Amino acid sequence: MTDKVTSIAEKPIRVLLLDDLEDHLLLSATILRRNGYDVTTSSTVEEAQSKLHQIDIAVLDYHLGAGKFGTDVADTLREKRPEVPIIIMSATLERRFGGIADMHLLKGYSSVDDLLTALRSFEAKKRGKPVVVDARDFYYSRISVCMGDDVVLEIMDRDGTLQYVNDYFAALFEHKRQWFVGKNIFEQFPELGDTWREVIRTVADTRETYIDRGFRGLPHLPTKGARWTWNVLVFSIKLQDNRDGVVLTARMIEKKGN
């Protein structure tokens, strides 16, 4: 009896992939199979509709051409098998997050690793409550991963409205990361003043990189003491809605000399 239960538990997760581009479909299916998933592929809404009874998770391309959309399949799946998680792959952020899908990933920005992370998340949750994840979090978190755990990272538009902060920054102020999103950094931290407002706007508009060679640090970030400061780098980024923005990074260093 134990062996039978173990066998059922280890049965591969069945994933439906819907994409009208055969090359994308083949590549995605190959990668998921190499990671242990049992993949069923479809290139049309009609074909996908016929396979809904044999899947555990659906990954659906949003725009399929010829007036067809992956959300047509999502609507049917949610009606017939509401327990099945749905991931929509979209080329833009025009659609509102939530609704019929549990998660949206942005094509062209979200990597294969993001899709695998999403699939593993749904495996672990065994459906539970719907989980809606903003694709921007995947996009911006890639930069944070590259920077390292000891670097403060803030992403904002040219006016200072925060789009993303990393865990290190959030922990300094004892808030959840999402608390900062949508808030203006100059309103939350008026000590930054006009100088830093000008730096942010200049970097966003000119797409040049700013390095604080004077080691003045950032007035809104706490330090260990008088001998410590924040080494600051600000560079431009294209935000997910195609506006110009900036990435502000800072690592604490010990000042040399007296």
Q: Which three-class secondary structure string do you get for 69-101?
A: EHHHHHHHHHHHCCCCCEEEEECCCCCCCCCCC
pTM of the model: 0.54
What is the spatial distance between Cα 208 and Cα 197, in angstroms, rounded to a whole number? 15
**Can you say whether the dihedral through the CA atoms of 181, 184, 185, 191 is positive or negative?**
negative
As a whole number of angstroms, the distance between CA 191 and CA 95 comes to 37
Query: How many angstroms separate the CA atoms of 99 and 38, rounded?
Result: 27
Among 158, 120, 141, 150, CA closest to 241: 158
**pLDDT by position in tens, the chain (length 258):** 444 443 344 678 899 999 988 888 898 899 999 999 999 999 999 999 999 998 999 999 888 877 788 888 998 998 899 888 888 887 664 444 445 667 777 666 556 777 887 888 777 655 444 445 555 666 677 677 677 788 999 999 999 999 999 999 999 999 998 899 999 999 999 999 999 999 999 999 988 899 988 888 899 999 888 889 999 999 998 887 778 999 999 999 987 765
Q: How far apart are CA 184 and CA 187, in angstroms?
A: 5
Please name the helix (run of DSSP H) or strand (run of DSSP E) that holds residue 238, with its range, or none: strand 228-238
75, 35, 74, 72: which is closest to 57 by C-alpha? 74
- Going by C-alpha positions, the residue among 12, 23, 14 that lies closest to residue 61 is 23
The 8-class DSSP code of residue 33 comes to H
